[in-house]
Structure 1
Amino acid sequence: MKRLFNILLDLLLAVFALGLTVSGVVYFLLRASVPDYDEDFSVAGIEGPVDILRDAAAIPHISADSAPDAYFALGFVHAQDRLGQLLRARRAAQALMPLDRTIEVEPSTAQALDAYAAGVNAWLGLVSEGGRGRGSPDLLIADERMIAAWRPVDSLRLAQAFLNDLQPERRQNDLSGLSDLPIPSDRPLLPELFVTSPKVSLDAWALPGDRTATGAPILAADIRGPLSLPSEWYLADIQLPTGAAIGATLPGVPFIVVGRSERVAWAFRSVSQKAVKEPENPTAAQASNFLMMLDRLARSADVNDAMDACMNLSPAGLEILAIDRETLARWPDREVETPLSFRDARLAALDERQPIFSVEGAITVQRDTVSAAARALLPIMAKELWFVGSTGALEENRADELRGDILDQLAQWNGDMDRFSPEPLVFWAWARALQKRILQDEFPSATKVWARPNADVLFAVLSDRGGSAIWCDIRPSTRIETCQDQVRAALDDAIGWLVDRYGPDPSAWVWGEAHALNMGWAPIRSSGIISDLLSLKAPSSGDSYTMIATLFTSDDDRPFAPSGGTNFQAVMSFSEEAGSYFIAPAGQSGHPLSRFYENLFLMWMQGKYLAMSTDLSLARGGAVGTSRLLPASVQRPTIQDDRSQ
């Protein structure tokens, strides 16, 4: 017996020791892939030395004697910080463009694409030499074929994929059951039923000099898209021979997408689907035009030069806004008329309220969390209930008391989607229940039609636009239900749902609990529990119709959890050297063990921005490292260029 015990003990100790050894090896490999921002490198593919200064937020400030060397360094730092993201995005975009397609671009753009690819490959070559844990934690389990050499066509693919993400989804082809159950002939058409948000949406607005405190124009930019880790956007400063350019880059693409140079700032606004013809999938030629336009914008001498750069290259469905020290301009040269959205209405109200803006005032507008949708819908939904008593039992019961308390709360609410308040949760639970009652009988199996709250549909029906109030009638029933019948019943549905989920005390119903931001790590392959452990979570304010926006899911269990939303914001002006402010919701690094993986998350949640300047002396304050790239005298061993993908 004693011998058996000793054998089992030895086995247990051996398993424990093996576990410690494996854990130690894995941890070493993971730590080895965290980049050292003070390390110098000897690399092939550059003509002269390149300095990469990392400021306090690990944003790279790249200084080079030539534009190709600068773009080489941008590819290098993209791979250094976001290698897994680069390879994942390349794999997703591979089907968009044939490998043997020849695309014509301007010489400067072609040089940038070639240099950028060489920079990515330089980092891949360093990783292949060993000692860097394969460059990214998720690449430890990735297929070898994924870690193939980067080529200029890969950047073109990613630009094409980005333009494709700006196109609205075609919901008509995506709704199960809709083709089997067409819209009844007695129901007026609701176009809003078939309008979906694109995966990525660009927004921008600008103020001329006579509307600002300094007399210099202000340009504000927002991007809405996936909320994941690492962030979709990467901040960078590229000190080109023609002048510096700072702002948001898209990993895989060698240009500033939204940002400013020393002379011009630029941003884009997605034009509503109703304002342009039915879009087609972006072509490779359109992607190359887009890249050439970004290249030209960074080298523009002034706003007029920037507009000339955009005239024949701007993708359909995008409006370009640009400012310099004195002038505001857009292309097309007149504002594109688009249907007024709830966000547009809120922006117009904030704009009218404040005749003169500072940069700080523009930031306040960007972070506004008052929902114009709630302010428009709530008075219509509650107009009868606020002044008419319960239709239930004669003597007041607990349900009537609870309903009355909730209506009193909503009557004093200004529509602010504050994460610590109960009113946003009550309102959207009510709106969701109402939409379900209105639409479920027409589309019983097409849950995407009625599961996600659509304020445009509700407003059209409740305001009886074009006779749309008939949608409130339940077709299988013999009586004709009115919208007020449905509103009353939906309120009780919502209260019942809230009580079941959050308890009977309305003061415990907090918007942030139902509307919690959950940014999950997106590795090469889905990793389930690991992604959950590495995610960033926090209760968040806003909704789909606020200035800082979040998109609801169609998940019946978590209907108000954000599935996407605002993932980059910038306010730019030439009124001062550090007059440009940028923020993204995570950190620069895509490595979970890096201290720059989540360092911007708290700032994002608090509405604080990073001041970015083209002045390197300002960036050196609190810098976390400086790397130098030196031309290699001998060709370094590099990875094999896999042409089979």
Structure 2
Amino acid sequence: TTAHPLSPFQPRGLAGASNAWAAAASRSASGGTLLANDPHLGFSAPAIWYLARLELRTGGVIGGSIPGVPLVLTGRSQRLGWGLTSAYVDDQDVLIEELNPENPSQYRTPDGWKEFETRASIVEIDGQDPVTLTLRWTDNGPVMPGSFRNLETITPPGHVAALSWTVLSPNDTSLTAGMGVMHAQTVAEAITASKGYIAPAQNLTLVDRGSIAMKTIGAIPRRDAAHQSQGRMPALGWRPENRWQGRLPYASNPGFVSPVGGILGNTNNKTVDRPFPNHVSFHWGDTQRVQRWRRLMQTREVHTRDSFIEAQLDTVSFTARSLLPLIGSELWFTGEAAPAGTAERQRQRALALLAEWNGEMNEHWPEPLIYAAWLRSLQDRMARDELGPMTDALTHVEPLFIERAFRNVDGAAIWCDVRQSAPVETCADMARLALDDALIWIGETWGTQLESLRWGDAHQATHDHPVLGQVPVLRFFVNIRQSTSGGDNTLQRGLTRGTGDAPFENVHGAGYRGVYDFADPNSSVFVISTGQSGHFLSRHYDDLAQLWRRGEYIPMSLDEGLARAAAVGVTRLEPLQ
């Protein structure tokens, strides 16, 4: 479930995420538009994000950049604010290509056999002879090795697998589109400029002085309505109906401009409900955070910069609030008196704590750890006798799976019965057994005094150095570890590792946070999760980390005088002559 750090294919749970929301002037206490954005990516030290200001012919832009990318990806200019969330567009298909048995340098197409496009790639290896790899392309995309994601197990003899992916477009104008957004002065101009953006698909949330909008940007493949698998499984690459037929028009990408309610946002949740082949995606990134977001947005008539910050830092788990009453419905305040030291007494203590808990994933409290361990054990018990070793791939709790089983939606309660045993177990049985499993694990790992447990001890943010982070002694200098609140499904997202001896470590979340207020642009606030320096001996390597952990921010201004007045120094980068 963990990918090589250089691999562009991340495990499903650890791909990009993010939050963004905006308020129109009519829903703002100050009468100016508001925008909040916190992109979620894997944690590292130094962080992926870098605070920067760029000076363009149309004026300055300020916010979050990524070193090596000449763009402010989320931030503001004097007139426009923009933020990104992953759009979860269905933009990859695997096609099975048939090799010519008479000539393996050819593959089948709708028009007969065709030669692979090939290129030799020489890999230099220190101290050894170089290795030459022959890379092959079909009309559908590059041929992938059978060892990748175990493709060989589903690829018939005499066939290979090719990948169609929008990011492989030979004419990628995404950077140009990003430049266009930075130059744009209005929401409409930014939407127009984003037409050339290709991949990876994003939801672009925009505000100018008078309006708000959200537009899905990026190429969406045009598939035939008769596609054999609708792109959900590998399909035969020589069948015309399985091949992409270009892209859907940009105008058909989901978009929302100046909604009547004056509030819009995205937590990687489903944005449109359209049938295939205009479906956008079969898999969306969130069903949980959006529930809490809606509540926070609609419980206020008007919003402020501080209410947007409050939502960005919110650690209440809708998942915990909705699932605990279900899975504990036959356990709360039941059972006979049990002597101290017994499993029954420990279960009663845990249930008593959870019964009074409000679902806040607070780093200082024991309840989040008990809840998280209980749900993890419950899902494992429900799935393992049906799925066997494949259950190991379920690294994170799927809330809708648990809910449907406990509500017996379409007979889903059958997941609670252990098929390999004679009795018929109920979901209440599974909940009780799983709670005991969780308490045993907690006792062995963190201790049996439940009231003194801290979620933050298990949920440490792992800003680890990708190269030096495993080196003995040195790792204590380069890795930044901090106790953190939040969890898998809170707005202040702290996605857990899900595997290994420390499954609840916080490995993926908001490495950047920004809130932009166009009633007073200079009051906009920003922060990244480590520091501005990439050198671990610099005091700026981790000086923003504690602010980030405490939910604090720093100001940044487009006023050059203010910026220089607060500077600790000036660094000049000059090209070599």
Aligned to 2:19: 203
Aligned to 2:43: 227
Structure 2 portions without partners, runs of 5+: 95-163, 216-253, 258-270, 274-283
347, 350, 368: which one aligns with 2:314? 368
CA deviations 1:377-425 (Å, max 9, x no partner) are 11101111114324xxx76554333322221211110000000100001
Write the distance in 1 (CA, Å) between the matches of 2:181 and 2:40.
Answer: 22
| Residue 325 of structure 1 pairs with residue 209 of structure 2 | yes
How far apart are 1:525 and its partner, in Å? 9.2
| Residue 241 of structure 1 pairs with residue 57 of structure 2 | yes
308, 320, 339: which one aligns with 2:192? 308
CA deviations 1:227-277 (Å, max 9, x no partner) are 110100111011222100111111111111111111111112222457x88
SS of the counterpart of 1:542?
coil
Write the distance in 1 (CA, Å) between the matches of 2:506 and 2:557.
Answer: 32
| Residue 582 of structure 1 pairs with residue 523 of structure 2 | no
Write the distance in 2 (CA, Å) between the matches of 1:562 and 1:318.
Answer: 24
SS of the counterpart of 2:13?
coil
| Residue 380 of structure 1 pairs with residue 302 of structure 2 | no
Q: Which has the larger radius of gyration?
A: 1
Report the residue type matching 2:255 in the other structure. D
Report the residue type matching 2:317 in the other structure. S
522, 536, 539: which one aligns with 1:592? 536
172, 191, 195: which one aligns with 1:288? 172
| Residue 425 of structure 1 pairs with residue 309 of structure 2 | no
CA deviations 1:269-291 (Å, max 9, x no partner) are 222457x8869533354883221
Greater mean alpha carbon deviation, residues 618-627 or residues 485-494 = 618-627
Are the counterparts in 1 of residues 47 and 463 from structure 2 also a CA contact under 8 Å?
no
SS of the counterpart of 2:392?
helix
How far apart are 1:498 and its partner, in Å? 1.7
Aligned to 2:552: 608
Report the residue type matching 2:64 in the other structure. A
How far apart are 1:531 and its partner, in Å? 2.8
Specify whether residues 624 and 269 from structure 1 end up closer, same or farther in structure 2 by C-alpha distance, changes over 3 A only: same
RMSD: 2.6
| Residue 519 of structure 1 pairs with residue 403 of structure 2 | no
337, 348, 356: which one aligns with 1:404? 348
CA deviations 1:441-477 (Å, max 9, x no partner) are 1222224334533323222322222221111111111
Higher helix share: 1
Aligned to 1:144: none
Specify whether residues 603 and 417 from structure 1 end up closer, same or farther in structure 2 by C-alpha distance, changes over 3 A only: same
SS of the counterpart of 2:385?
coil
Identity percentage of aligned residues: 31
65, 74, 79: which one aligns with 1:263? 79
Aligned to 1:480: 424
Aligned to 2:300: 354
How far apart are 1:201 and its partner, in Å? 2.2
Are the counterparts in 2 of residues 290 and 313 from structure 1 also a CA contact under 8 Å?
yes
Aligned to 2:272: 337
SS of the counterpart of 1:446?
helix
CA deviations 1:169-213 (Å, max 9, x no partner) are 4xxxxxxxxxxxxxxxxxxxxxxxxxx335222431111111111
Are the counterparts in 1 of residues 166 and 198 from structure 2 also a CA contact under 8 Å?
no
Write the distance in 2 (CA, Å) between the matches of 1:537 and 1:582.
Answer: 21
SS of the counterpart of 2:321?
helix
SS of the counterpart of 2:166?
coil
SS of the counterpart of 1:401?
helix
How far apart are 1:432 and its partner, in Å? 1.1
Higher relative contact order (CA 8 A, sep 6+): 1
SS of the counterpart of 2:256?
coil
CA deviations 1:543-588 (Å, max 9, x no partner) are 0100111122233311111222221111112211313211110001
Write the distance in 2 (CA, Å) between the matches of 1:570 and 1:231.
Answer: 15
SS of the counterpart of 1:425?
helix
Specify whether residues 278 and 375 from structure 1 end up closer, same or farther in structure 2 by C-alpha distance, changes over 3 A only: farther
Specify whether residues 316 and 622 from structure 1 end up closer, same or farther in structure 2 by C-alpha distance, changes over 3 A only: closer
Specify whether residues 302 and 476 from structure 1 end up closer, same or farther in structure 2 by C-alpha distance, changes over 3 A only: same
**Alignment of structure 1 residues 99-138 onto 2, 5 Å:** none
Are the counterparts in 2 of residues 371 and 417 from structure 1 also a CA contact under 8 Å?
yes
Specify whether residues 306 and 450 from structure 1 end up closer, same or farther in structure 2 by C-alpha distance, changes over 3 A only: closer
Are the counterparts in 2 of residues 373 and 455 from structure 1 also a CA contact under 8 Å?
yes
Aligned to 2:494: 550
**Alignment of structure 1 residues 53-64 onto 2, 5 Å:** none
CA deviations 1:496-541 (Å, max 9, x no partner) are 2222222221112211111112211223896455234421112110
Write the distance in 2 (CA, Å) between the matches of 1:565 and 1:611.
Answer: 21
SS of the counterpart of 2:374?
helix
Write the distance in 1 (CA, Å) between the matches of 2:485 and 2:203.
Answer: 28
Aligned length: 442
SS of the counterpart of 1:419?
coil
SS of the counterpart of 1:306?
helix
| Residue 251 of structure 1 pairs with residue 173 of structure 2 | no
CA deviations 1:355-397 (Å, max 9, x no partner) are 211101101100001111111111101111114324xxx7655
| TM-score of the aligned structures, taking structure 2 as reference length | 0.72
Write the distance in 1 (CA, Å) between the matches of 2:370 and 2:566.
Answer: 45
Write the distance in 2 (CA, Å) between the matches of 1:206 and 1:371.
Answer: 22
Write the distance in 1 (CA, Å) between the matches of 2:299 and 2:211.
Answer: 23
Write the distance in 2 (CA, Å) between the matches of 1:525 and 1:451.
Answer: 23
Report the residue type matching 2:386 in the other structure. E
Are the counterparts in 2 of residues 386 and 407 from structure 1 also a CA contact under 8 Å?
yes
Specify whether residues 404 and 283 from structure 1 end up closer, same or farther in structure 2 by C-alpha distance, changes over 3 A only: closer
Are the counterparts in 1 of residues 22 and 36 from structure 2 also a CA contact under 8 Å?
yes
Write the distance in 2 (CA, Å) between the matches of 1:241 and 1:627.
Answer: 22
Specify whether residues 528 and 355 from structure 1 end up closer, same or farther in structure 2 by C-alpha distance, changes over 3 A only: farther
| TM-score of the aligned structures, taking structure 1 as reference length | 0.64
Are the counterparts in 2 of residues 443 and 449 from structure 1 also a CA contact under 8 Å?
no
Are the counterparts in 2 of residues 448 and 554 from structure 1 also a CA contact under 8 Å?
no
Report the residue type matching 1:548 in the other structure. Q
Write the distance in 2 (CA, Å) between the matches of 1:534 and 1:320.
Answer: 34
How far apart are 1:312 and its partner, in Å? 4.2
Write the distance in 1 (CA, Å) between the matches of 2:89 and 2:348.
Answer: 41
